[in-house]
Amino acid sequence: MEAIILQILNGLDKGSAYALIALGLTLIFGTLGVVNFAHGALFMIGAFCAVTLSRILTLSHTIVDDTQTDFLGNPLKVDVPYVMDWFGEATGSAIIDWAVPLSILFAIPVMIAIGVIMERGLIKHFYKRPHADQILVTFGLAIVLQEIIKYYYGANPIPTPAPAAFKGSFDFGAMLGFDPNIIIYPYWRIIYFAFAAVIIGAVFAFLQFTTFGMVVRAGMADRETVQLLGINIDRRFTLMFGIAAAVAGLAGVMYTPINSPNYHMGMDFLVLSFVVVVVGGMGSLPGAVAAGFLLGILESFASMREVLAVLPGLNQIIIYLVAIIILLTRPRGLMGRKGVMEE
């Protein structure tokens, strides 16, 4: 029982990342009908938004501190971040400590802007071209974005820690009444899961309960009719692309403390996220989310020692295996809509 709960918990954080990326992919696919291979790059750019903000926050100037001396006896030179000058030492260091959560505010406008520019500048011209062309051009774009990030930030992973308050782990098992020290779970992962749940909820609420969302859903169902009603659906879809980019970006921002960002993290997640989207059903938002969590949890179950003893290497291939089985038995994926991507 403990082991099962532990594996479910372990699967949640990866599953959350899959679900968020797959949600964005599906939003783009469902609205614009574009297969976006650059979506992993958006995830990566989000992560580097967090890196950038924490670098901006720690921009500092050097002052000479007369009260302390270094080992040669000279007055010690101390780097003081500008935020400490402006907000005082306590607030300043708190701001630096909370750089990753603060990056959310920074990343949202940046990612929406990137998404809108991408759609207006490039993807707009590919609506009428075959899906293969869309895949190819976004694949090229992903390479370009990745290389630009690599040029400016280097090829090595950049550690970006979570705020001190969320470092370490807590004993989740004890809270549920199991023996202590069996289910130990890091704080940040539970926060990541909660964050993902909030974002997913927000996207669904936005689509379900606002007029804008209603129009977008109508456009997803029948674009032509909506246009005939005199609604400029293109503009709304462009904004949805921005929102999808922001969702991927936020997934990246919050993922930085779990895994130090490097320039190819996007590609690593992209391949899996595509599998997730296909398993969930092309164009189905609930399908994408459900499949994301399902595959994340399955992956962590497959990496249990007991399972590996029977079927070695299962953890490496479980996602692809599930995808193959699902595609062959349920061609539309778990919750695919009829008539979407059926040639």
Partner 1 sequence: MFGLDKKDTRLLILVAILVALAPFLLNPFPEGSAMAQFNAGYPDLMQRFVIFGIFAIGFNILFGLTGYLSFGHAAFLGVGSYAAIWMMKLLTMNVIPAIFVSVIVAGIFSLAVGWISLRRSGIYFSILTLAFAQMSYSLAYSVLTPITGGETGLQPKVNDPRVLDGALAEGATPKANLFGLEMGSSFEWSVGGWLFTFNAGYYLAAVVMLIAFYMSIRIFRSPFGMMLRAVKSNQQRLNYTGLNAKPYTLAAFVISGMYAGLAGGLMVAMDTQVGAERMFWTASGEVVLMSILGGVGTLIGPVLGAGAIKYMENILSKINKEILHQWFAFMPDGIEDILVSLVYPFIGKGWHLTLGIIFMLVVIFLPGGLVEGGQRVARLFKRKKPAEDGPDGKTTPAE
Which residues form the interface with partner 1 (CB under 8 A)? 35, 122, 125, 131-133, 135-137, 139-144, 146-148, 150-151, 267, 271, 274-275, 278, 282, 312-313, 316-317, 320-321, 323-324, 327-328, 331, 341, 343
Following CA atoms 333, 335, 339, 341 in sequence, which dihedral angle do they give, to the nearest 10 degrees? Answer: -40
Return the SS3 of 171: strand
In angstroms, rounded to a whole number, what is the distance separating the alpha carbons of residues 46 and 111?
A: 7
In the complex, the smallest distance separating the C-beta of residue 326 from partner 1, rounded to whole angstroms, is 11
Residue among 218 and 314 whose Cβ is closer to partner 1 = 314
CA–CA–CA angle 289, 292, 297 (5° rounding): 130
Q: What is the DSSP string of 94-127?
A: HHHHTHHHHHHHHHHHHHHHHHHHHHHHTGGGGS
> By C-alpha distance, which of 188, 157, 162 is closest to 265?
157
Residue among 132 and 228 whose Cβ is closer to partner 1 = 132
In the complex, the smallest distance separating the C-beta of residue 139 from partner 1, rounded to whole angstroms, is 7
Cα 220 to Cα 19, 240, 335, distances in angstroms:
20, 11, 16
Residue among 66 and 343 whose Cβ is closer to partner 1 = 343
Q: Distance between alpha carbon 67 and the CA centroid of its chain, in Å?
A: 46
In angstroms, rounded to a whole number, what is the distance separating the alpha carbons of residues 103 and 91?
A: 17
Following CA atoms 279, 35, 117, 18 in sequence, which dihedral angle do they give, to the nearest 10 degrees? Answer: 20
Residue among 160 and 273 whose Cβ is closer to partner 1 = 273
In the complex, the smallest distance separating the C-beta of residue 114 from partner 1, rounded to whole angstroms, is 16
Q: To which H or E segment does residue 174 belong?
A: helix 172-176
Residue among 107 and 275 whose Cβ is closer to partner 1 = 275
* Tokens representing residue 47 in the block: 């992560």
In the complex, the smallest distance separating the C-beta of residue 125 from partner 1, rounded to whole angstroms, is 7
In the complex, the smallest distance separating the C-beta of residue 343 from partner 1, rounded to whole angstroms, is 5
In the complex, the smallest distance separating the C-beta of residue 152 from partner 1, rounded to whole angstroms, is 9
Residue length of the chain: 343
Residue among 47 and 272 whose Cβ is closer to partner 1 = 272
Residue among 234 and 268 whose Cβ is closer to partner 1 = 268
In the complex, the smallest distance separating the C-beta of residue 223 from partner 1, rounded to whole angstroms, is 19
Residue among 189 and 332 whose Cβ is closer to partner 1 = 332
Q: Which residue has the tokens 């503009």?
A: 235
In angstroms, rounded to a whole number, what is the distance separating the alpha carbons of residues 88 and 168?
A: 27
DSSP one-letter code for 166: G
DSSP one-letter code for 66: E
Distance in Å from the first CA to the final CA of the chain:
45
DSSP one-letter code for 161: P
In the complex, the smallest distance separating the C-beta of residue 120 from partner 1, rounded to whole angstroms, is 14
